[in-house]
Amino acid sequence: MGWSDCGTDIDGRPIGYAFAATCDEPGCEEIIDRGLSYACGNMHGDGDGYGCEKYFCPAHLRGSAPDGGGRMRFVCTPCEAQWRWECPDEAEAYDNE
């Protein structure tokens, strides 16, 4: 088994890049899959605290919430707001890069 079929999310939906879906942003009908490329936080599950177990098209993912390894996590707008609230110094440093 690979990343094409990774089980189910907290809502019981199948996850992995083999499963076509629509963006989880309310009102958005963009076709995506439930693979890591579209996962809030760059990982299935909560993304080590920076993700919401939902899947979004590129228009609804933002590059923020650094992963500690010099890379950015892509998160949805509410998760970005939570990161900015919890880590204001880190967010300010990111904004000034």
What is the percent of the chain where pLDDT is above 90? Answer: 38
Query: What are the structure tokens assigned to 4, written together?
Result: 């094409």
Q: Is the pLDDT of residue 78 over 60?
A: yes
Q: What is the mean pLDDT of the chain?
A: 85
- The residue ranking higher by pLDDT, 20 or 93, is 20
pLDDT, residue 88, reads 85
pTM to 2 decimal places: 0.83
Of 78, 83, 11, nearest to 48 by C-alpha is 83
Arithmetic mean of pLDDT, 57-66: 82
pLDDT, residue 44, reads 78
Report how far apart the first and last C-alpha atoms of the chain are (Å, whole number).
39
